[in-house]
Amino acid sequence: MVYTRGSSDDFDLWGKVSEDRSWSWKTLFPYFLRNEKLVPPPGGRDASGQYDPQFHGTRGLTSVSLPWGGPTDFDRLAIKNAEQNKEIKFNLDVNSGKPSGLVWVQSTIGNGERCSAAVGALGGKVKERPNLTILLNTQATRVLPSKESRQLDVRTVEIVSVSSGKKTTVTAKKELIVSGGAFGTPHLLLNSGIGDKKELENVRVKSIHHLPDVGKGLSDHLAFLVSWSANDVVRPVDTVAAFEEWQTNRTGPLTGIGIHQLIFARIPPDAPLFKEHRDPAAGPNSPHIEVVVLSVGPRILASVGLMTPKSRGTVKITSNNPLDQPLIDLGYLTHPFDLLAFKEGARIAKRWYEGPAYEGYITGFLGPDPDTLPENEFDNTLKAGAGPSWHPVGTASISPKGAKHGVLDPDLKVKGVKGLRVVDASAIPYVPTAHTQAAVYVLAERASDLIRASW
Ligand SMILES: Cc1cc2nc3c(=O)[nH]c(=O)nc-3n(C[C@H](O)[C@H](O)[C@H](O)COP(=O)(O)OP(=O)(O)OC[C@H]3O[C@@H](n4cnc5c(N)ncnc54)[C@H](O)[C@@H]3O)c2cc1C
């Protein structure tokens, strides 16, 4: 998966939102290094000039590498275009805290295979640890308060075997750490009676702790495609040969996601939308827009993603059966800023491909074009074609210690509850201007130190 951390401002914002400056790019940077294991691209090609080693760790759990192939002719065109471009320059490393520019893609791939958390953190001998039990096909249905304690103390989890339906409880000596993700964590808390009291009563769940923001503030990235016709041919991958190559050497086109370069860009400060709307970017280092740089033969496809959405969604429950699915409203495009920003994103992509390096290569813009289509038509095309980037965060957000809003104190403990902590994307208050796995890894790395210190 694409490995991008986001901007230094994104992480400084966590500190501002939680009034705890120990959440900052400066404090978190060593944790990025601690988590990362930068490895050569599959096949071992020399990737120097495509990243900056000073921003990378080499001994962590998560393997990160540059693409197997490249630079291709198309990659070189982009580099040349950036040399002549005033708006978008070549940026040696997307993960320096200043991601804007044309960058080489880094991915969580090691030895030609995906390095997920299941591989990096739980692979090898970790699973053999005597103090680790992994229950498969098991759903945590509720967290339960202790009957003895006068203060709300939650250290017991109720779990159900998905196959047999057998229910049991497990009680932690120190604390429960919930990591169900931006959908699973609020789902579990709400099923347990931790959420908005009235909303819980409406679905006949007994409230044990009124915490109105559980499941609120969902923030995700959305993207849509713009395309160009190009003076090029399709170069189909021989998938049989590619599979054989991967099986034999763990190299070849199947080792990657097929994208070599990305653009991260800011909407110009004089764009008309900023007359109506406050700039949501966390600071000058945070790009508003991501553009995927991809040629598929006679077409150039640019997935244009809005990195700084203002729209918010929710995660709710509709019954008191914890095995029912949560009701997720992603809230996409509900804030008028987002549609306007997407138009600016399409314009950024248009300006990029109007650059001199693409002369003779690009033969036409296929749209959708915000400058020629009637406004409604552009909006409708975008709404029909846009898709999620799968980066949800914010449904159990951190906030200042003792604040009535938010769900977690800055130490990731559930507000007003003893024994219960959340470590996952739901804690992140605003979606970073990046793909989100690195932000989740860095949150988890720091959380491990917070937990160790408090135990
Ligand atoms: C299709 C897809 C593609 C993505 N691509 C990228 C990418 O290229 N780069 C990138 O940076 N990010 C990518 N992301 C985003 C990234 O995967 C997430 O940001 C990250 O995994 C979030 O981590 P998390 O720990 O918060 O949640 P998750 O990784 O979702 O982990 C939560 C886990 O808890 C389990 N769970 C939830 N509720 C319960 C329960 N009640 N009982 C038991 N288990 C439960 C879930 O099954 C899940 O395994 C992608 C996401 C998706 C879905």
Provide CATH 3.30.560.10 ranges for the chain.
Answer: 8-119+222-308+333-385
Which residue's CA is minimally distant from atom 53 of ligand 1?
Answer: 390
User: Is 435 one of the annotated active-site residues of the chain?
Assistant: yes
CB atoms within 10 A of CB 151: 10
Q: Is 390 annotated as a binding residue?
A: yes
CA of 181 to the centre of ligand 1 (A): 6
Residue of 221, 259, 437, 445 best suited for mutating to test ligand 1, as the one with most atoms within 8 Å of CB: 437
Ligand 1 centroid distance, CA of 357 (Å): 39
Strand runs labelled E in 254-338: 261-265, 289-296, 299-306, 314-316, 327-329
Q: Residue 233 has what pLDDT?
A: 85
From first to last of the 455 residues of the chain, give the pLDDT tens digit: 999 999 999 999 999 999 999 999 999 999 999 999 999 999 999 999 999 999 999 999 999 999 999 899 999 999 999 999 999 999 999 999 999 999 999 999 999 999 999 999 998 889 899 999 999 999 999 999 998 778 899 999 999 999 999 999 999 999 999 999 999 999 999 999 999 999 999 999 999 999 999 999 999 999 999 999 999 988 888 999 999 999 999 999 999 988 999 999 999 999 999 999 999 999 999 999 999 999 998 999 999 999 999 999 999 999 999 999 999 999 999 999 999 999 999 999 999 999 999 999 999 999 999 999 998 999 999 999 999 999 999 999 999 999 999 999 999 999 999 999 999 999 999 999 999 999 999 999 999 999 999 99
The reply, when asked if residue 221 is annotated as ligand binding, is: no
Nearest residue by C-alpha to atom 2 in ligand 1: 390
N residues, the chain: 455
Location of each CATH 3.50.50.60 domain in the chain: 135-218+393-454
Classify domain 135-218+393-454 at the CATH topology level. Answer: FAD/NAD(P)-binding domain (3.50.50)
CA distance 453 to 22: 14
Residue 346 and residue 286: Cα distance in Å, rounded?
18
| Best CA proximity match to 94, nearest among 265, 244, 280, 212 | 265
Atom of ligand 1 nearest to the CA of 444: 25
pLDDT given at position 143:
98
Which residue's alpha carbon is nearest to atom 43 within ligand 1? Answer: 139
Report the atom number in ligand 1 closest to the C-alpha of 138. Answer: 43
Of 209, 221, 260, 435, the active-site residue reads 435
Tell me, what's the pLDDT at 149? 77
For residue 292, list its beta bridge partners.
262
Burial-class residue 138 by CB neighbours within 10 Å (0-12, 13-18, 19+): middle
Instruction: Write out residues with Cβ below 6 Å of ligand 1.
Output: 1-2, 139-140, 179-182, 184, 188, 390-391, 424-425, 435-438, 440
Cα–ligand 1 centroid distance for 440 (angstroms): 9
Say how many Å lie between the CA of residue 100 and the centre of ligand 1: 26
- Ligand 1, atom 18: nearest CA belongs to which residue? 437
Look up the CATH number of domain 8-119+222-308+333-385.
3.30.560.10
Name the pairing type of β-strands 420-422 and 176-178.
Answer: parallel
Identified catalytic residue from 56, 288, 391, 405: 391
* Residue 133 alpha carbon to ligand 1 centre in Å: 20
Residue 115: phi, psi to the nearest 5? -105, 90
Strand segments (E) across 27-135: 36-38, 62-64, 101-104, 109-110, 113-114
